[in-house]
Amino acid sequence: MKRFRLYVITGEEFHPSRTLKEVMREAMEGGADFIQLRDKKSTKKQVLEKAKMLRELTNEFDVPFIVNDHIDVALAVGADGIHLGQDDLPLVEARKLVGDKIIGISTHSIEQAREAERNGADYIGVGPIFPTKSKEDVVEPVTVSYLREVANEIKIPFVPIGGIKLHNVDEVLNAGGKSVCVISEVVGSSDVKGTCEAFIRKIKECET
């Protein structure tokens, strides 16, 4: 799997007066290098249409495209992978359906992270690091201490998520994060491109 720095997930509720296409294009212009379609509200047909659009757009930027939950939609549009939650189709079963496509899974404890690694996940989400309003089934923040555990132990790529903002990203990077996954701070920004550039700058600073 290609290394990424800024993983941006869609969140249309944060930009009611702008189109999904506009916002995600700007994000990639600003350096977002991993994109996920996450839509818990639309019908399957609507999700499919959005996925088709985002597949084309991400191809333009040569950015991997991941679909949350809808394995059938991911396969239909030729997405690069899928992202699963702990209550979705188990990883081992999902692997049978998607072959060598990317499978990411959200984890909220070191036990879940170990299990994901053991079962062949390509990457894990680690969160929510901070409180967030972007996830409906809100779980208590895992804090940067869980991130530290993952950074020390887990060998597959991991990406911190949940409440990550420009003002607290340093804390995440100092705890071992090498990339970040963001919704509201990016897609809800009045300057999507500038916000992405600022995240990338901070991440790159930590690489030197």
Binding site for ligand 3NM (CB under 6 A): 9, 106, 125, 127-128, 132, 134-135, 161-164, 182-185
CB of 92 to ligand 3NM, least distance (A): 20
CB of 172 to ligand 3NM, least distance (A): 11
What are the φ and ψ backbone dihedral angles of 121, each rounded to 5 degrees? -65, 150
CB of 70 to ligand 3NM, least distance (A): 15
Closest to ligand 3NM by CB, 39 or 59: 39
Q: Is 120 annotated as a binding residue?
A: no
**Which residues have a catalytic role annotated?**
38, 106, 135
Which distant-in-sequence residues (6+ apart) come within 8 Å of 64 by Cβ?
A: 1, 2, 4, 33, 34, 35, 58, 80, 81, 102
Closest to ligand 3NM by CB, 28 or 172: 172
**Binding site per annotation, positions:** 36-40, 68-69, 88, 106, 132-135, 163, 183-184
